[in-house]
């Protein structure tokens, strides 16, 4: 069973193509025009075990907001497409990720009832030129478009880079568990309702 999704989205603000293979090996090709964001998405692919291609061209002459948020939208849509109705998956996943002084946890439910609980704050308003407030925008866009209930919390940490990266890795590791095929579901959606 091929679990591949590909979504193209073109607006006046961004032009985006995302392709995912949920059963890949973490290979990625990422070009968003934002170096730090590329680094985060590469980490997401590697730790999620997802082959990921992202091509984003955004209105960076204005700021990074549309590029980051819209990439989250399309990435979520591509993974949702690859999940094909959430059939046969484990559905739930969680991860704790330590990075030096920082510890972040993420729990995810691929329920088709999107929600985001966000309990991360940054010590600095920017990482390089990247506005740290955009991390919440990305995670919200992702959660609502993949159809996931995501709880992400930095339990403690000081370094903004570590807080951001541990969050992406925690989301990736939790997602990796949740999308894993579960033979006990016999190919059905993991819900008493029979559908998600």
Residue 4 pLDDT greater than 90, yes or no: yes
Q: How confident is the model at residue 110 (pLDDT cuts 50, 70, 90)?
A: very high
Residue 13 pLDDT greater than 80, yes or no: yes
Q: Where are the domains of the chain?
A: 4-185
Q: Which two tokens stand for residue 125?
A: 């308003």
Q: Would you call 92 helix, strand, or coil by DSSP? A: strand
Mean pLDDT of the chain: 96
Give the chain's radius of gyration (CA, Å). 16
User: Beta strand pairing status for 4-10 and 130-131?
Assistant: unpaired
Please give the CATH architecture assigned to the domain spanning 4-185: 2-Layer Sandwich (3.30)
Q: How confident is the model at residue 192 (pLDDT cuts 50, 70, 90)?
A: low
Residue 141 or residue 186, greater confidence: 141
Residue 147 · residue 109 · CB < 8 Å: no
Residue 137 · residue 69 · CB < 8 Å: yes
pLDDT confidence of residue 177:
98
Kindly report, residue by residue over 59-100, the tens digit of the pLDDT. Answer: 999 999 999 999 999 999 999 999 999 999 999 999 999 999
Q: Would you call 125 helix, strand, or coil by DSSP? A: coil
pTM: 0.95
């Amino acid at each position: 069973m091929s679990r591949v999704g590909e979504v193209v989205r073109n607006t006046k603000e961004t032009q985006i193509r995302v392709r995912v293979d949920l059963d890949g090996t973490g290979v990625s090709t990422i070009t968003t025009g934002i170096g730090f964001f590329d680094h985060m998405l590469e980490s997401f692919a590697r730790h999620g075990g997802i082959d990921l291609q992202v091509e984003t061209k955004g209105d960076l002459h204005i700021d990074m907001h549309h590029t980051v948020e819209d990439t989250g939208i399309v990435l979520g849509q591509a993974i949702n497409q690859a999940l094909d109705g959430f059939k046969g998956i484990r559905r739930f996943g969680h991860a704790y990720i330590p990075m030096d002084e920082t510890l972040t946890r993420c729990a995810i439910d691929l329920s088709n009832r999107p929600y985001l609980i966000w309990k991360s704050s940054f010590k600095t308003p920017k990482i390089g030129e990247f506005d740290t407030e955009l991390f919440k925008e990305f995670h919200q866009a992702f959660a609502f478009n993949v159809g996931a209930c995501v709880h992400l919390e930095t339990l403690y940490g000081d370094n903004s880079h570590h807080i951001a990266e541990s969050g992406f890795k925690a989301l990736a590791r939790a997602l990796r568990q949740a999308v894993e095929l579960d033979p006990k579901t016999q190919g059905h959606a993991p819900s008493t309702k029979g559908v998600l």
